[in-house]
Structure 1
Amino acid sequence: MTKNADERREAEVRHQIGTQPRQWEQRPRATGPTPPPFTPQPTPPATTTGLASPSNCPSCGKAVGGELSCQFCSQVLFLPQGIVLSTAGRRFGGYVLECVLVICTLLIGWAIWAAIVFQYGQTPAKQLLHMRVVYIPQARTARWWRMFFREVIAKTLIGILASFTLLIPYFWLLWDQNRQELWDKMATTLVVNDPGDRLHPQPSNQ
C-alpha cells in the first residue's frame, strides 16, 4: 500500500508541474517594429577660433576652406563685407610712418597719442592710414590691453628674436595666409583696412 500511495503522490506532482505555465511563456512578446541599428554621426571638425566661416566668400563668391580671410580678394570672412586685410605694402608704410612720428614727437608725443588710440585698436600711424587691429576670437576691434601687449611686449620679444635670426621674423607676413606678423600670432590679431571707421568701438562696447 505504501508503494501505491507513493506512486499516486508522484503522479499528482507530475500532473501539477505539467499544468503550470512556464515563466518564459508568461512574458508578453513585443509586437512593435524592430528599432533600426544605431549609426554614429560624424563629429564636425573643430575650428581654432570658434568662428563659423562661410563656404564661399561673401565679397567675390569664390570658395574658401575654413580660413579667416579670402585668399582671392582678402575679405575677412568674420567681419562686414568690404573689410579686407591690409596689404604688405600698406603695413610697411605704417612702420615707416610710425618711426617718423616717434622721431618727430621725441617718443613722448607718440606715447601719449598711442595711449589714447590703443582703445580703438590703432596706433598713431594706423589711425592716419585708416587701419585697425582686430581681435580674432571675439571678431571685434582689439582693446587697450591687447594693443599694449601687441605693441610693447610682443614686438619687444620678436625684436630680440629677430636680432639673432637676420631679421627674418619681421618678414613673416609675406608668406602668412592672413598676413600676420609673429606679434599678431602672439596677440591673436589681424590688421585690416577700415577707411569708413566701421569697426570703431561704440561707447557701450568699450
Structure 2
Amino acid sequence: MELTTRQKEIIKIVRENEPISGDKIAKRLGLTKPTLRSDLSLLTMTGILDARPKVGYIYSGQTIEPLLFEELYHKKIGDIMVPPILIKQTTSIQDAVTDLFLHDAGSLYVIDDDDHFVGLLSRKDLLRATLNNPNIDTSPVAIIMTRTPNIITVTPEERVVDAGYLIVHQEVDSLPVVETDDSQKVVGKISKSKLLTHFIEAGLQIEKNKEV
C-alpha cells in the first residue's frame, strides 16, 4: 500500500533529524501535532518509525509489504466486526448484568422502542451501579448509561487502522459500528480483542501463503 505524501515527508524528516519529537515534526510541516497523530500512529504500528518515550521518533529502517499493509490496516471494519448485544433502555440494571455475562461481552448497546441507538453500558458502568444502587432489579439502565451523542462510533466503511487509533486514544474497549447513512442504527461492534484476533489471523495467513 502506497504511503501518503505527508507520511513520506514525515519519514524523511525523522531520518534526517532523529531522534525528533512529534512537536518538532509538526512544526517543520507547518501543522499541529494532533493533525499528525493518525500518521504517526500508522507509521509506528507498521514498524517504519519507532517512538521512544522522552526521546522522540527514530527511523527503524524497516519496510512493509504492500499486501501485508493492505490486509492488516486497510481492511474495512464491516469485514471483521461482530454482532452487537442490544438491550432496551427500560431493561433493569440486574437484567443488563445478566446479559453482559451470558454473552461474555464488554459492553451493551442501548436502543429505544424505535430501535434507535441511544446509549452504551460498559462493565464499569454496571459495576458502579450494582455497588451503589440497592434497587438494581427495578432501576432501568437509562439512568446509568452513557448517552448519545457522547459516544464515539465508526461505520462499516472505515478502516481497521482508524478503529484501532480511536480505541487507543479514546481509551475504550470497543466501538459501536453504525450504518453509514444512519447513525441511529447499530449494526455491529469492533473491540480490542477482535482487532487483536484480526492481526494475528491475517499475519499467520500471510506467513502460510509464503510457505506455499
Same fold (TM over 0.5): no
Which structure has the higher relative contact order (CA within 8 Å, separation 6+)?
2
